[in-house]
A and B are shown apart, each in its own frame.
Chain A
Amino acid sequence: MSAEFYGTTLSSPLMLGTAQYPSPDILRAAVLAAQPGVVTVSLRREGARARAGQAFWSLIQELGVPVLPNTAGCHTVKEAVTTAHMAREVFGTDWIKLEVIGEQDTLQPDVFGLVEAARILAEDGFKVFPYTTEDLVVAERLMAAGCEVLMPWGAPIGSGRGLNNVFGLRALRAHFPGVPLVVDAGIGVPSHAAQALELGYDAVLINTAVAKAGDPALMARAFRLAVEAGALARTADPMEERDMAAPSTPLAGKALLG
């Protein structure tokens, strides 16, 4: 059963970033191989002559995947809110992946600014996807501010370290059983994505792990298969972990040979 994100069911639990690919053709190939439910996009200054943004927009439209604009690189509430308004106009969607960055080395969210920006945007009709930590109290505040989706990090953006705090992510899942949860940031290889889905997360957002792979399109396919495996495993209800061994082959009827 797929989760609904603000009333919309995505075609896949894979959300794919569009940045850092070696070329537009490789980005296109990666999106086609990943078959993501959404692609994330951003806004940057446009040169009147180069018009790089217009070419990128044509490619995204051609791919036909729903977009989730971000406020990447914003460090203040004002910057993030203004960027969100510009994104709503340019991309024609009220979905916004809200990033308010608080620390340069880890790119970890400024959760205080995040909650404030989320409240302002939610009151203005935005459907906010907040990039947050796995902190339960911050998550509560984000929900109170009007967020109906949470996007905790797995590890710092671009680090590829996977799920740094499995205990915390598991606690968040248990604490918000009905809220769509997405692991955003830090996923490095498909097994990390499968693990997030196995924990009961509804989606993962991946960019660097695909874009910086030696063969992005092949890695995109690997992630597609990993999220499918993880989602199936979750539905199948994984066995309980135990500390001691338990024989899987029945002992009854074993020949006496010693």
Chain B
Amino acid sequence: MKLVVNDETHEVSARTLAALIDELGYSGARIATALDGVFVPAPQRERTPIIEGMRVEIVAPMQGG
């Protein structure tokens, strides 16, 4: 299944957002996620399905002013 993660296309086998995070190597990282522009809180990732073509954003702390 193809997904767009942070503007890059990925071929993945995960079926939930939590599994996707593991598959892409973000396990244990301090991140927040959004699916198609909608914030998905961490506790909901396990039960949030992902489907072909979805746009996933994965963000983390960064320097800011």
The answer to whether A46 and B34 have CB atoms under 8 Å apart is no
When the two chains form the complex, which single residue of B24, B32, B59, B64 contacts A18, counting CB atoms closer than 8 Å? B64
The answer to whether A82 and B34 have CB atoms under 8 Å apart is yes
When the two chains form the complex, which single residue of B26, B31, B41, B65 contacts A157, counting CB atoms closer than 8 Å? B65
The answer to whether A17 and B65 have CB atoms under 8 Å apart is yes
The residues of B that contact A56 with a CB separation of less than 8 Å are: 60-63
The interface stretch among A86-94, A135-143, A188-196 is: A86-94
The answer to whether A41 and B32 have CB atoms under 8 Å apart is no
Shortest beta-carbon distance from B6 to chain A in Å: 4
A207 to B65, CA, bound (A): 6
A interface size (C-beta, 8 A) = 38
Q: Is A120 positioned at the interface, with any CB of B under 8 Å from its CB?
A: no
Query: For residue B64, which residue of chain A has the nearest CB?
Result: A42
Q: Which of A200-225 contact B (CB under 8 A)?
A: 205, 207-208
How many A-B pairs fall under 8 Å by CB? 107
Query: For residue A48, which residue of chain B has the nearest CB?
Result: B25
The residues of A that contact B61 with a CB separation of less than 8 Å are: 41-43, 53-54, 56-57, 60, 90-91
The residues of A that contact B31 with a CB separation of less than 8 Å are: 46, 53, 90
Q: Which of A18-35 contact B (CB under 8 A)?
A: 18-21, 27
B interface size (C-beta, 8 A) = 25
Shortest beta-carbon distance from B59 to chain A in Å: 4
The residues of B that contact A45 with a CB separation of less than 8 Å are: 6-7, 57-60
Task: Please indicate which of the listed interface residues B7, B57, B60, B61 has the most CB atoms of chain A within 10 Å of its own CB.
Answer: B61
Query: For residue B58, which residue of chain A has the nearest CB?
Result: A46
Q: Which of B9-65 contact A (CB under 8 A)?
A: 24-26, 29-34, 37-39, 41-42, 57-65
Shortest beta-carbon distance from B44 to chain A in Å: 11
When the two chains form the complex, which single residue of B24, B34, B62, B65 contacts A48, counting CB atoms closer than 8 Å? B24
Shortest beta-carbon distance from A18 to chain B in Å: 4
Q: Which of A72-95 contact B (CB under 8 A)?
A: 72, 78, 82, 85-87, 89-91
When the two chains form the complex, which single residue of B26, B33, B57, B60 contacts A57, counting CB atoms closer than 8 Å? B60
Q: Is A108 positioned at the interface, with any CB of B under 8 Å from its CB?
A: no
Footprint of B on A, CB under 8 Å? Answer: 17-21, 27, 40-49, 51-54, 56-57, 60, 69-70, 72, 78, 82, 85-87, 89-91, 157, 205, 207-208
Mind listing 10 A-B residue pairs with CB under 8 Å?
A18-B63, A19-B65, A42-B62, A42-B63, A43-B62, A43-B64, A45-B6, A46-B60, A70-B64, A91-B61
Footprint of A on B, CB under 8 Å? Answer: 6-7, 24-26, 29-34, 37-39, 41-42, 57-65
